[in-house]
């Protein structure tokens, strides 16, 4: 997964607030460990990370974080059931090969699941594709179509429907647009149109 500049990661502080203090957390696709560091410093969390890029992993370990080189699609199967209080996938699900299987594994190994992703249903994206007839490029999805790691983009609506299929209950939904955050545990038409990014806290139904 591409390394993520912090200025583009307002979802991280929101995620950190969803996590109970002193809990056990697995951050899947943890990059250079920005979220894990926030969680360790502010929430006293026992955090672990999985990161695909070796540069990211080495940077994390150098910062004193417990991180392994691994792949969301492959390596979650290793962990035992209920190994963590929270399993977090921040802006990574769209880059996995099999998002459904990844979510199923997260549901198995974590009592809670937190997922953040760029909303492909945002109006700007719809305009670019629908009226201009071009693959969208936005602040949250800045790569060219031929140069993007994002192979499984979805809308807020798509995601909620997948959660329903996987027996995952939405405990909290946070819709991000501009500097605003709107709570929506059952997001509707306007959320799907105006959220640039979404953060969901889920648990087994």
Partner 1 sequence: MGTSADRPADKARSQDELNTAFETVTFGADQPLKLDCGVDLSPVTQAYNSYGTLNADKSNAVLVCHALTLDQHAANVHPATGKEGWWQGMIGPGRPIDTNRFFVICPNVIGGCQGTTGPATINPATGKPYGLDFPVITIADMVRAQVQLLDHLGIDKLFCVAGGSMGGMQTLEWASTYPDRVFSAIPIATAARHSAQNIAFHEVGRQAVQADPEWHDGAYYDHGTRPRKGLAVARMAAHITYMSESSLYQKFDRNLQDGDEFTYGFGPDFQIESYLRHQGSSFVDRFDANSYLYITRAMDYFDLAAGHGDSLANAFKGTETRFCVVSFTSDWHYPTTYNKQIVHALNAVAANVSFVEINSDKGHDAFLLDEPEMFSTLQGFIDSAAERRGLT
- Judged by the rule CB under 8 A, the positions of this chain that interact with partner 1 are 46, 48, 54, 57-58, 60-70, 75, 78-80, 83-84
Name the residue nearer to partner 1 (CB basis): 25 or 174. Answer: 25
Name the residue nearer to partner 1 (CB basis): 56 or 187. Answer: 56
Residue 21: CB minimum distance to partner 1, A: 17
Residue 149: CB minimum distance to partner 1, A: 20
Name the residue nearer to partner 1 (CB basis): 66 or 177. Answer: 66
Name the residue nearer to partner 1 (CB basis): 39 or 141. Answer: 39
d(CA 152, CA 44): 33
Name the residue nearer to partner 1 (CB basis): 20 or 164. Answer: 20
Name the residue nearer to partner 1 (CB basis): 23 or 177. Answer: 23
d(CA 36, CA 4): 14
> Of 9, 11, 13, 51, which is closest to residue 32 (Cα–Cα)?
51
């Amino acid at each position: 997964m591409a390394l993520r500049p912090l200025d583009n990661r307002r979802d991280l502080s929101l995620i950190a607030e969803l996590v109970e203090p002193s809990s056990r957390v697995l951050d899947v696709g943890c990059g250079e460990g920005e979220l894990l560091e926030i969680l360790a410093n502010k929430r006293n969390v026992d955090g672990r990370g999985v990161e695909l890029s070796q540069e990211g992993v080495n940077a994390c370990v150098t910062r004193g974080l417990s991180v392994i080189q691994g792949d969301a699609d492959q390596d979650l199967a290793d962990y035992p059931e209920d190994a963590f209080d929270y399993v977090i996938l921040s802006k990574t699900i769209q880059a996995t090969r099999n998002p459904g299987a990844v979510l199923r594994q997260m549901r198995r190994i974590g009592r809670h699941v937190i997922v953040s992703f760029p909303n492909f249903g945002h109006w700007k994206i719809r305009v670019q594709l629908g009226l201009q007839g071009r693959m969208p490029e936005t602040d949250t999805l800045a790569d060219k179509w031929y140069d993007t790691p994002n192979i499984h983009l979805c809308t807020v609506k798509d995601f909620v429907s997948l959660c329903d299929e996987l027996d995952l209950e939405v405990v909290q939904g946070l819709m991000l647009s501009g500097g605003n955050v709107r709570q929506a545990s059952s997001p509707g038409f306007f959320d799907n149109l105006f959220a640039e990014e979404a953060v969901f806290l889920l648990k087994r139904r």
